Structure 1
Amino acid sequence: MNDMDQKILAMLVDDGRMSFADIARELGVSRVHARDRVQRLIEEGVIEKFTVIVNPEKIGTTVSAFFDVEVDPQGIESVAQELASQPEVRSLYIMSDMRSLHIHTLTENNEALEQFARRNLLSRRHIVRVDCKQLLTRVKHRRGGTRI
């Protein structure tokens, strides 16, 4: 990847619907050249997909919570897969100790959050410990960019 590719990625992270013509204008290249560069980034797997970012408050999911869940190592993958399929789970990561899951959930209210925890965490086999923290204020958030 060169400097132009980095600039194209930054533009598309900011506005995934940016036209090839607008990208070309920003970079001082032809529309065809901009299209070819974007297509190459897609073909090489640098760009995995284009998506939207939804404001959770506009769709009624105002409670954002983060769970750190300790799991028996023999059950970590099955627990992770089962939890990842739940609609409240927005992201889920297996951490480097191979005993911990980091989970981000969005729910309508505190009651729905408690129901999620009781149904999916507190009674599940292999789960050893659950720690939950609710988001108070978002200072900085990721809008597109590198998948983590």
Structure 2
Amino acid sequence: MNKLDSDLLKLLIRDGRMSYADMARQLDISRAHARDRVQQLVESGVVEQFTAVINPASLGKVISTFVDLKVAPYALERMAQELAACPEVINLYIMSDLRSLHIHTLTDSQEAFDGFARQYLLGREEIIAVNCTNLLSRVKHGEGGAKL
């Protein structure tokens, strides 16, 4: 990747719908060159997808909870797949100790999160420990913002 690719990525992160003509004007290159470079970034896997960044609160999803689970190693993959399929789960990571899941959920109320926890987390023998914390305020977003 060169400086042009980095500059194109910065523009796409800011506005994934930016036209090739606007990219070309800002970077002082031709529209065709901008299009070709973006296409190469897509084909090489640097750009995985173009997506919208949604404000969860505008959809009523005001409870952002982070859940750390310790899971029996034999159940880690199965548990990860099951939880990943839940609409409340927006991000899920298997951690390096190979027995922990880090999960980010979005719900419209504390009661909705409670229902999710009761249905999927509590009373399961493969779950060794649960730690939940609610987001108070967001200080810094990753580039491109939160994905929903």
Q: Under TM normalisation by the shorter chain, which class is it?
A: over 0.9
What does residue range 1-148 of structure 1 map to in structure 2 within 5 Å? Answer: 1-144=1-144
TM-score relative to the length of structure 2: 0.95
Secondary structure at 1:38 match in 2:
helix
* In structure 1, distance between residues paired with 2:9 and 2:125: 42
Q: Structure 2 CA distance, aligned partners of 1:7 and 1:112?
A: 42
**1:40-76 superposed Cα distances (whole Å, 9 cap, x missing partner):** 1011111010001111111011000000000001110
Q: Which runs of 4+ in 1 moved over 3 A?
A: none
Unaligned runs of 5+ residues in structure 2 are none
Unpaired segments ≥5 residues, structure 1: none
Do 1:73 and 1:98's aligned partners in 2 also have CA atoms closer than 8 Å? yes
Deviation at 1:141, TM superposition (A): 1.4
Letter in 1 for 2:133: K
Q: Report the number of matched residues.
A: 146
CA RMSD of aligned residues (A): 1.3
How much identity, in percent, do the aligned residues show? Answer: 56
> Which secondary structure state, in structure 2, belongs to the residue aligned with residue 68 of structure 1?
strand
Partner-residue secondary structure (3-state), 1:103: strand
AA of the residue aligned to 2:13: V
Cα-to-partner distance string for 1:84-127 (whole Å, 9 max, x where unaligned): 00000000000000010000000010001111111111133411
What letter corresponds to residue 70 of structure 1 in structure 2? K
